[in-house]
A and B are shown apart, each in its own frame.
Chain A
Amino acid sequence: MRHDRAPGRPPRFTRRGLLTTAAALPAAALLPGCSDGRRRTAGGRITLRFQSLAWQQDSLKANKQLVAEWNRQHPDVRVQYVQGSWTTVHDQLLTSFEGGEAPDIIHDASDDLADFAYGGDLADLTALLPPRLKRDIPQRSWETGTFAGRIHGVPFLQEPRVLIANRAKLDRSGVRIPTPEHPWTWQEFEEAAQRLTRGTTYGVAWPLKEPVSATLNLALSTGGRIFHRRRDGKVEVRFDAVDQQVPRTIHDQVNVDRSASRTTLGMGGSDTLPGFFAGRYAMVPLGFSYRQQIAQQAPKGFDWTVLPAPKGTALDQGVSPQTLSIAEDCPHKEEAMAFIDFLLSPPNMVRLALGDWLLPTGQEALKDPALRAAEYDWATGTALAGSLHSAPAQSVRGYPEWKDKIATPGLQEYYSGAIGLDTLRKRLVEDGNLVLARYQR
């Protein structure tokens, strides 16, 4: 049974919104929350569908192996592996939920869960979670999968943003090499980028094709949240001095001291790699998992290293971990949770993390020597795990519209130098709060 569907949600005239409408109508007419129990039982055996978004070779292999191991050990509860895709998962889940065809166990990212969680499509896992799993994952990670006080997703893999640097250039420049214990401050980072800027080489390349999550998550290090929850429970956008520090640093690097390449502002992370390998940029802020691409694609002899992102008042940064959820329609929630518990046992979580080149959320898994190795700077990332917190915006209703319509174009214009900080603040706050108000009536 569906429940808690938010009343009066304003329409968003995007493809996603139209698709929602398209999918909701047939569901309303024909499928009021029913599920087909027959497809899940055959000959007394339960069959659960697990939709995974694993896509890299090692990750796919690890997931399929774990499903096969589960099926060998649990002949009465068979798990069927279903391949999903990061690019289409939201639309696919939307239609699946509305059409009564949702997978039982769902792999997604925590920042994609809000609509489904508030819409009653995802089961409340609070009472289902085994104590071992609940204890193993720290509270700051549980917050990423918690909506309105209920846990709808088990966070299991997360990705800090790091600086991937050309080690030879760093050594030649004589800058201090930061470590997780002694990271650069934002001021030191700016100075290092300036020293690394020589001739046609830029100190840093910011790939900011999608600038909002990078800006918001890094702003956490200076105490910036941008989304502030008031006492009455409503959320408002602010853009105070602490919120402005990270965007102003990026802006100044591109437009004032020219230590950052202007051309990479419109690029995705992968697009900057050819220039990085060719020595055009000394440092590139990227997600931790980009190490795999770099390890595969870097020219022979190219020496690179992973540095922690700069520190403000703290080393904190926001993340939206990968999660596992159970569909509300699933008739075998306990069995589904047993599979999640198996998948996220410490040794299996390590296998998943290594396959995706990401960090596990589980504390036991983080102790594994394979994740503390010097090779590929696993140890640097693992040392950052304690500083990762729930991304400030991910549970805010209306955030996707604010991001698409207000923040993305605003930040793009600000970083390119087309508008100033005052104009940016006005747009983010005044226009942004008008958007959020429609979701919080």
Chain B
Amino acid sequence: MTATESTGGSERSSAPRGAGSAPVPRGTPRRTSTARRTSTSRRRATPRRTATRAGQYAALLGYLAFLAFPFLWLLSTAFKPPRELSSMHPTWIPEAPTLENFRQAFAQQPLLAAAGNSLLAAAVSALLAILLATPMAYVLARFRNRLSRAATGWVVISQAFPLVLVIIPLFLILKGLHLVDSRIGLIMVYVVWSLPFALWMLTGYVRAIPRELEEAAAVDGAGRLRTLVSVTAPLLAPGLVATALFAFITAWNEFFFALVLLKSPEKQTLPVVLTHFLGAEGVADLGPLAAAALLATLPSLLLFAAIQRRITGGMLAGAVKN
């Protein structure tokens, strides 16, 4: 049986028996997938199924609202004047929106310089993590033996170490290298910190690429390097983007290492500077804090928006096996 026959047969067997659903004759061109989906959903639209679908959408909307709530509240707070911040009946949309919180935030703290420091640390550490993790992930995924399985296990276990335990050897090493209070030292820490998870993620992405593609390239005469560059790397791109984004955001949001390792004010990163809006016993300069926090959130959001397709592609890669 050919592939065409198989498809046709399948459609015929599951076709509805009502009016307007004539059997598909042999040799008729295949319907588009959209048409097929439309037909299928119309076929299955029972009241119970509709109710289930409505419930699913309601749950999804509720979940999205739950996820979006902190960000929307931050957005709203950043534009509220002081008198609206302590209202007993808070509103989503500020009644008298103001940019004063942003003006104050920039006047009080060197936000742009701190954002520059965070950007530098996050971008460079993400790039380095990818450069180091990619070949290691390829080896772990393609050459599976006891050693690679042990290495993968160690990578997973290493994620369980608390920060305060990890900082001891890191501090020792950095102090010995005179890299405390140094951007290079902080970037090294971020690379080390994000590397295990990046490696774990990338190993999954490499495994999702069919080995047969590399074998076919080899049969066509491509060497291993050519195969890696021309066949594997393009297919791995979505995974690389997703992993780089993970490493970037991990470093962008990191607070503890930056607090402990950086002493000079001109080197401080954005999460550390955000704490300068907090007073003793949890009192906060709420408006400027919200404005500064909003600015700190935006790069991550913009980055997600810009490369969303690639991330989705990366996440779905290998989801359906042949």
Expressed in whole angstroms, the Cα–Cα distance for A318 and B316 within the complex equals: 62
Given known contacts A23-B171, A57-B108, A210-B281, is B276 in contact with A278 (CB within 8 Å)?
no
Task: Please give the distance in Å from B71's CB to the nearest CB on chain A.
Answer: 22
Interchain Cβ contacts within 8 Å, total number? 114
* Least CB separation from A276: chain B residue: B86
For B282, the chain A residues whose CB sits under 8 A away are 87, 209, 268, 270
Residue B319 CB within 8 A of the other chain: no
Interface size of B by Cβ–Cβ distance < 8 Å?
43
Docked complex Cα distance between A57 and B276 (Å): 11
B172 close to A (CB within 8 Å): yes
Contact residues in B for A30 (Cβ distance below 8 Å): 172, 175-176
Interface of B is mostly: helix
- Indicate if the CB atoms of A55 and B181 lie closer than 8 Å: no
CB <8 Å contact, A99 and B88: no
> Could you tell me the distance between the alpha carbons of A268 and B275 in the complex, rounded to whole angstroms?
18
Residues of A within 8 A of B88 (CB): 274-275, 277-278, 280
Asked if A87 and B278 sit within 8 Å, CB to CB, the answer is yes
B278–A296 touching, CB < 8 Å? no
Which of B107, B108, B168 sits near A25, CB closer than 8 Å? Answer: B168
Quick check: B175 and A87 within 8 Å, CB to CB? no
Q: A83-B109, A99-B171, A270-B283 are in contact. Are A299 and B277 (CB under 8 A)?
A: no
Give a binary string over A269-293; 1 marks a CB under 8 Å from any B CB, 0 the rest. 1100111011010000001001001
Of B22-30, B46-54, B258-266, B292-300, the stretch lying at the interface with chain A is: B258-266
Q: How far is the CB of B170 from chain A (nearest CB, A)?
A: 9
The answer to whether A293 touches B260, judged by C-beta atoms less than 8 angstroms apart, is no
Residue among B85, B104, B107, B164 with max Cβ neighbours from chain A (10 Å): B164
Q: How many residues of A contact B (CB 8 A)?
A: 51
How close is A154's CB to chain B, nearest CB, in angstroms? 18
Judge if A441 is at the interface, Cβ distance under 8 Å.
no
Give the one of A26, A80, A95, A269 with max B CB within 10 A.
A26
**B222 contacts the other chain (Cβ, under 8 Å)?**
no
A274: chain B residues within 8 A (beta carbon) = 86-88, 90
Contacts of A290 in B (CB 8 A): 283
Chain A residue nearest to B277 (CB atoms) is A55
Residue of B with least CB distance to A295: B82
Pairwise interchain contact B259-A15, C-beta atoms closer than 8 A: no
Are A297 and B109 neighbours in the complex by a CB distance under 8 Å?
no
CB distance from B52 to the nearest CB of A (A): 40
Q: A31-B175, A275-B88, A277-B86 are in contact. Are A19 and B164 (CB under 8 A)?
A: yes
- A101 proximity list for chain B (CB < 8 A): 180-181, 263
0/1 interface trace, chain A 306-328, chain B, CB 8 Å (1 if under): 00000000000000000000000
Tell yes or no: A46 within 8 A of B by CB.
no
A268 touches B168 (CB 8 A): no
Let me know if A55 and B276 touch, CB within 8 A: yes
Please state if B276 and A83 are interface contacts (CB–CB under 8 Å): yes
| A298 adjacent to B275 (CB under 8 Å) | no
Given the known A-B contacts A22-B171, A23-B171, A88-B259, are A56 and B285 also in contact in the complex, defined by CB atoms under 8 Å? yes
**Within 8 Å of chain B (Cβ to Cβ): is A42?**
no
Q: A23-B171, A55-B277, A275-B88 are in contact. Are A83 and B265 (CB under 8 A)?
A: yes
A57–B273 Cα distance when bound, in Å, is: 15
Interface pairs (9), CB distance under 8 Å = A22-B165, A22-B168, A26-B171, A83-B265, A85-B276, A85-B278, A91-B260, A270-B282, A298-B83
Contacts from A to B (Cβ < 8 Å): 15, 18-19, 21-23, 25-26, 29-31, 53, 55-57, 60, 80-88, 91-92, 95-96, 99, 101, 109, 209-210, 268-270, 273-275, 277-278, 280, 287, 290, 293, 296-300
